[in-house]
A and B are shown apart, each in its own frame.
Chain A
Amino acid sequence: MKDKRNAIYAAGFLILGVLLLVLLVLNVAIGSSKMTLQQVFQILFTRQGDNSAIVWNIRLPRLLTAALLGGALAVSGFLLQTFFGNPIAGPFVLGISSSAKLLVALTMIGSLARGVAVGSLGMILAAFVGSMLSMGAILLVSSRLKSMSLLIVCGIMIGYICSAVTDLVVTFANDSNIVNLHNWSLGSFSGMKWSSVGTIAVTVLASLALTFLLSKPMGAYQLGENYAQNMGVNVKLFRIELILLSSILSACVTAFAGPISFVGIAVPHLIKTLFRTAKPIIMIPACFLGGGVFCLLCDLIARTLFAPTELSISSVTAIFGVPVVIWMLLKRQKSKEGA
């Protein structure tokens, strides 16, 4: 049994690894100027060739961002699902992405009006404050509402309010800012600079490492708060750590790519199905890889399907993510009836 499990885990990671590599290469090769595989590798390893500039200045930063942020979203979703003991929880559904978006929009417009540029760290900070605000609201509500479905409804409502206010702010912003802001508020991985990639990589990978160190108490927490405490988990501290990490991860995504829907719910579910486990020590790295794969695929579709027009990343993730979520709900209902 133990060997069989390890075989499943190894196979799962192998599949994710191969998919990730294939999608990385495809994302470099496919676009308005197409390249052969040979050209791709030549450019990647020697920086020589016709399209070297396109690859190094546009495609590489973009695909790295997509992979890192996709992974961050999936892990953030998994953390929230563990926290709330509900597989539908995720940064988008709970309104955390939307309130982060609102704060980032306000910061952007405010700083542009004063002629100050806010750096990428500033953006993350703004998004983090936004995430914490709605997280705080959700926690306040959750202490009164014991029903998970009501909690989700609350999250969706918070999301709507924040989106409405963001739209309002965007509408009244200076014309020159609007185009940029509008694209961002729909969600997109385009226009990433290497400096942003650096900031993203440091933030996401550091949070991921810290999250991984929480996998032991997370496993205990899956049996419920009371059992976790009985096993020796400092529950109060653990809950704070969980909330902070999931907020940092989703804030980082929102700050750079805008709100991206359903990755946080769909990917953890797909990973659980693939690995047949919910053990955090497996789930955290697997969700990170899976989120990267998912977002690379979605971004590839978003920018190539109707090229040169780009779709917003959220449209694509929703199209792929929603069926997964519905499938999961049906499956859960079925297993409930079965038990």
Chain B
Amino acid sequence: MAEAILRSDSLIVGYGGNPVISGIDLGAEAGKILTLIGPNGAGKSTILKTLIKQLPPVSGAVYLDGQELGTLKARDIALKVSAVLTGRPNPELMTCGDVVATGRYPYTGRLGILSDHDREVAAESMELVQVTELKDRDFNRISDGQRQRVLLARAICQEPRVLIMDEPTSFLDIRHKLDFLYLLRKLVLERQLAIVLSLHELELAQRFSDTVLCVRGGKVDRIGPPEEIFRGNYIAELYGVEHGSYNAELGCVETEAVQGTPRVFVVGGGGSGIPTYRLLQRRGIPFAAGVLPLNDADLPIAMALATEVVTDKAFEPVSAEAVSKALALAEKCEKVVCAAEGFGTMTAENRRILTWAEEMGKLLPLEALNTL
């Protein structure tokens, strides 16, 4: 493990000496993104504020390059650590270029006059974050996405080794969220920055972090690579999810299954059943699904939304036993719907369900689902 630039040692953070979170041992390494996740109010911001010395630790300490943060001067910290904070600054009559240039603060002289080098660094930072065209625009008159990027440019302009960000992607639309995180990846790779940030978007945390730190119930619940954290039912547990579920592998949320005896049997497969499952769930109709091989794209959604799912072995043709099971289930249902666009070698047996349903007069065309 590389030496961490910024690290905490048995840190307890909180307000006015009252501990909020304890047992924080983290390290921000060059070229790595460390992401804090956890429910609202868990104390992610409190940790971040302590890391940038805006809050004193309740106990334990934060070390910057081996020196305790409390013993360092504000300027010495500023030379190594910069931040993008929550809350919108609204400076009067400042252009975006002015805002970015404030990042040079620790480098300028007594009166803060910018040198040519300072201007160059500011221009480079704006170029890197692609906000050069905003240079002369009033900072108070740009969009949220632009503002976040300008603040990032400001932080970069400070030429830090560690970048701390508190929920930088809140208020951004999906395109700007992605752009923003790609930018962070680029910074990490090209400039070997150490980034510590908090995120609410779990799917993004999973995809962009090197290490994920989970905060819950006054302590650091887990810390590890995303592969370890986003596994099984842990995320739903971490957030205390009561309605619906979180699919850790796919990184998406799922609603709850409608309870009750299934009224519709859906024959799907290969992802084709998903819209139908969702439609039925939305309309509050309990349903069953099958037969789905265990590697079918439909399966995770069907498992989450259907009251019952008939499954079969992966990479093998659907067996006669599985179809009998499905038929037994379909018998109890009012209708059978075919969502599959066709059947291949592996799912050929599923045809039998449809033939049976047609004979019984239970087959409902997909388009007629709305009439149920």
Contacts and interface: CB of A to CB of B under 8 A. Distances in A.
Interface of A: 1, 87, 212-213, 215-216, 219-220, 222-224, 226-227, 229-235, 272, 276-279, 281, 335, 338-339
A215 B111 contact: yes
Nearest to B77: A232
Interface in B78-135: 78-79, 81-83, 85, 87, 89, 91-94, 97-99, 102-103, 105-106, 108, 110-113, 135
Given A216-B111, A229-B54, A222 B74 contact: no
Given A232-B74, A232-B106, A227 B112 contact: no
A335 B83 CA distance: 28
A220 to B, nearest CB: 5
B78 A231 contact: yes
A233 B102 CA distance: 12
A231 B158 contact: yes
B112 A216 contact: yes
B132 to A, nearest CB: 12
Contacts of B36: none
Contact of A216 (B78, B94, B105): B105
A223 B89 contact: yes
B65 interface: no
Contacts of B81: 230
A42 to B, nearest CB: 41
A244 B342 CA distance: 81
A219 B102 contact: yes
B112 A219 contact: yes
24 contacts: A213-B110, A215-B111, A216-B112, A220-B105, A222-B91, A223-B89, A224-B85, A226-B83, A227-B85, A227-B89, A229-B52, A229-B74, A230-B54, A230-B81, A231-B102, A231-B105, A232-B77, A232-B78, A232-B106, A233-B105, A234-B73, A276-B93, A278-B92, A338-B141
A278 B110 contact: no
Contacts of B98: 279
A230 B79 CA distance: 9
A294 to B, nearest CB: 20
B158 to A, nearest CB: 7
Contacts of B83: 226-227, 230
B111 A220 contact: no
B249 interface: no
